A and B are shown apart, each in its own frame.
Chain A
Amino acid sequence: MVKKSTPKEFIIERDNEKCITCQACVRMCSNDAHVYQPETDTVISYDEKCVGCHFCETICPTGAITIRRNPSEFKPNANWDATAIRNIIKQAETGGVLLTGMGCDKPYPIYWDHILLNASQVTNPSIDPLREPMELRTYIGRKPDKINLKTKLTPQLKLETPILFSAMSYGSISLNACISLASAAEEIGTFYNTGEGGLPKDLYKFGKNTIVQVASGRFGVHKEYLEAGAAIEIKIGQGAKPGIGGHLPGEKVTQEISETRMIPEGTDALSPAPHHDIYSIEDLKQLIYALKEATRYKKPVGVKIAAVHNVAPIASGVVRAGADYVAIDGIRGGTGAAPLVIRDNVGIPIELAIAVVDQRLREEGIRNQASIIAAGGIRCSADIIKAIALGADAVYIGTSALVALGCSLCQKCYTGKCNWGIATQDPYLTKRLNPEIGKRRLVNLLRAWSLEIKEMLGGMGINAIESLRGNREQLRGIGLTDTELKILGIKPAGMAW
């Protein structure tokens, strides 16, 4: 057996002056990177085991630990960079598909950072959100073209702020993480999404703030499940892994998860790549209406797709098939586990997808027939307001929510060893995430972002979010090509109305 030759990614620096050998790091690290040496009464660290999650650094009572990237560098090579070399070494050793977690980390253009917002000056007063009403309420669902005396709307989701928590299954994340998301959604007046993990008993009480997902594996889908949520979402694809299914390893399928997903304990939970009852758009229509029938047309049924090259016509087909909303997940959308090569190379950025889908639906005169929820790498309130101005009704956030819960994007979710108690089912780790505190942090995040959105809206002289939705006049592009500007449907910075 040759020595494992993948160079270590991180270096654990321990300041022995500060270390009091309390062994907190030893007890806490799920990767066993720290080991106590009774002979010398010291703690030593194994750099090669470190995943860079920074948990030990955070909990060390004396601040003795610093995690750094390994400064040892390969000979510089623009083509053969460290990642490429490391990955080849790993595959030469294992012969397997490289797995990863979270969203694409490649330096593709982030269009949010090439879009600037407008503000009022002189001719139009800006509005102070501290003194004037500023409305973020958003309704997700199908709207008719016009009103008449008999108009009764199909069911809508009422959001007090245009931000929802993205689909993350019980299984990929811990029950405590699910409870944090669900209770935060309840307090804010928005929704979280079960992902395809079914709905654990403890979460039924959050039903009115829940979107239940129906994915290709149909895990945990039954009558009570469909009826428990405020809306149903058919998951066709996911930004981190368009075109492929999911895989929850048997090790993670504990008794509780086996009950929730309705599969034997310890067996792998495999979601097929396609839905095997949906090989075409007319089949999707059947499933949409089957779910609507099953729930007596009392709930909106949405469809989640990954942003791929042909996303605009696909979204149009989805709307015509009867979806009440289309969720679109861009290439930077996160995941609990995906093949690295898929995550980093398949799909398109969400900014472009929103622009082309909104435009396409408008050209076809069907934009009001469904709402658009955008997802995939949304980092801050500015990204949200830009997404809405491009044409989204609301956004899904996944990674941002997990970061609020402690995640530091070490991208090792698939190992089930998450030190933060988020992407793990190990009771020793999950108890680190207190759902009360988790909820508070998520509520804080949504509150802070909502306040910032109100400030930006007021600056533009707008006091209701619907006047920003699709209002691309409020956006200008910077450092973009003519083609990119055209696709985004925005003017370049410096151009007046």
Chain B
Amino acid sequence: MNTLIPDKDYRVASACGIVGIMSQKGKRFSGESIIKSIACMRERANGLGGGFAGYGIYPEFPEHYAFHLMYESEKSKKITEEYLHQNFIIEKDEAIPVQEIPEIKRNPLLWRYFLKPNIKNYDLSEEDFVVKCVMFINTQIEDAFVSSSGKNMGIFKGVGYPEDIGRFFKLEDYSGYIWTAHGRFPTNTVGWWGGAHPFGLLDWSVVHNGEISSYGINKRYLENFGYHCTLFTDTEVITYLFDLLHRKHNLSFEVIANILAAPFWSDIEREKNLERKNFLETLRIIYGSALLNGPFAVIVANRNTMIGLNDRIKLRPLVCAVKDDFLYIASEESAIREICKNPDKVWMPKAGEPTIGNLKE
């Protein structure tokens, strides 16, 4: 059996449990609490995928792109490293520390690199260059997969229950100011390590529970802007949409929420502020193809922000809580209470209403 196969070629829909924790003051805390929290939602996964994203975990390399690679063969490692040498200055590379546990039976070779792009003649921004390299490795090099490519952050994922994956990667040894986690219940295919969530690109990480019925058009819309969806996952599409709308179109997360989970026309008609009404109408007319239709609850993070968002009719659960400067977002309240007994406030965000945590430094 090969761990780096199948769902690369198919679109995998999945139902899941998700959780995110953020210290808005940037206090770093160990990965132990997020493991405890996601373990509480074991029912929402089926052992075919789990993963974590942590921000602020590599303070010794804050300005290097931290690439996490999954290799299925020594050969693919050799080819990938040659490619990395051509395009980056490799500050450091090492095996990602893991501990053997009985629950995790097979794993690919896991390696990480701290890189600075070595841009020569490219007419690209540094970030677009990194995106291009990630895409190249993921699509052109057999048996190699970049699971994480941001600065001072990392994604740890694999096939198994999330709490087992967390222990396997020894996340209690890392500390970060944002942690997100995902337990997966895929509806087809044997799990593939790369197919587990979070999905990452640059600083973005996305954990997602849902199935996007608009996938077909979202994917084609992104192609208009040069994004090529190669992994056939909804999460990939969501990540690219955030990258496009935030990084390239400079839109705020509130506006992005109004695009991805657009208000209904009837709500727009009722809007009393004429300027806002016109804005929302224009937004929908321009970004109709970016609307995410179908059920989803998603937690998206980058180095400064953590956002929770539901679909426009809230077909998947999402609960939020705050305690001091900590923001919690999870599929279930129990997952929050497990690690924060007495939150200052617990609420269920409305359909399409984003919950945004900002880093205050």
Contacts and interface: CB of A to CB of B under 8 A. Distances in A.
A468 to B, nearest CB: 7
B230 to A, nearest CB: 14
A408 interface: no
B286 A146 contact: yes
A147 B313 contact: no
A124 B285 contact: no
B285 A139 contact: yes
B95 interface: no
Interface string B1-38: 00000000011111100000000000000000000000
Interface stretch (B125-133, B159-167, B214-222): B214-222
A124 B296 CA distance: 9
A474 B288 contact: no
A469 interface: yes
A466 interface: yes
A148 B295 CA distance: 29
Interface in B257-296: 262, 264-266, 282-289, 291-295
Contacts of B313: 127, 132-133, 463
Nearest to B284: A466
B360 interface: no
Interface in A440-497: 460-464, 466-474, 496-497
Contact of B293 (A139, A389, A464): A464
B249 A464 contact: no
B249 A497 contact: no
A78 interface: no
Given A123-B13, A496-B10, A144 B286 contact: yes
Nearest to A489: B220
A466 B288 contact: yes
Interface residues of A, dominant DSSP:
loop
A470 B293 contact: no
A147 B289 contact: no
Contacts of B10: 496-497
Interface residues of B, number: 47
Contacts of A152: 282
A365 interface: yes
Interface in B286-308: 286-289, 291-295
Contact of A123 (B187, B215, B219, B248): B187
A151 interface: yes
A120 B212 CA distance: 11
A418 B198 CA distance: 66
B312 interface: yes
Given A461-B294, A466-B289, A146 B249 contact: yes
A147 B13 contact: no
Contacts of B213: 120, 124, 460-462, 467, 471, 474
A124 B13 contact: yes
B224 interface: yes
B224 A496 contact: no
Contacts of A464: 262, 288, 291, 293
Among B292, B293, B312, chain A packs the most CB atoms within 10 A around the CB of B293
B295 A362 contact: no
B249 A467 contact: no
Contacts of B265: 135, 137
Contacts of A146: 248-249, 286
Interface string B295-329: 10000000000000000110100000000000000
A464 to B, nearest CB: 6
A367 interface: yes
A159 to B, nearest CB: 12
Nearest to A126: B213
B236 interface: no
A430 interface: no
B200 to A, nearest CB: 22
Nearest to B210: A124
Nearest to A460: B213
B143 interface: no
Contacts of A389: 216
Given A123-B187, A135-B265, A147-B249, A368 B224 contact: yes
Nearest to A156: B285
B54 to A, nearest CB: 29
B285 A496 contact: no
A204 B295 CA distance: 46
Nearest to B7: A497
A473 B265 CA distance: 25
A365 B232 CA distance: 21
Contacts of B217: 466-471
A153 interface: yes
A470 B289 contact: yes
B211 interface: yes
A495 to B, nearest CB: 10
Given A461-B295, A471-B214, A362 B312 contact: no
Interface in B211-261: 211, 213-217, 219-221, 223-225, 232, 248-251, 255
B317 to A, nearest CB: 13
Nearest to A146: B249
Interface in B162-220: 187-188, 210-211, 213-217, 219-220
A-B pairs, top 7 by smallest CB distance, nearest first, are A473-B216, A497-B11, A466-B288, A467-B293, A467-B214, A471-B216, A471-B217
30 contacts: A122-B187, A123-B15, A124-B213, A125-B315, A133-B264, A137-B265, A139-B285, A144-B286, A151-B282, A151-B286, A152-B282, A153-B285, A156-B285, A362-B223, A362-B224, A462-B293, A464-B291, A466-B284, A466-B288, A467-B217, A467-B291, A467-B292, A468-B214, A470-B289, A471-B217, A472-B216, A472-B220, A473-B11, A473-B216, A496-B10
Given A124-B13, A143-B286, A461-B213, 14 more contacts: A120-B294, A123-B13, A124-B294, A144-B286, A153-B282, A362-B220, A368-B224, A368-B289, A462-B293, A466-B289, A473-B219, A496-B10, A496-B188, A497-B215
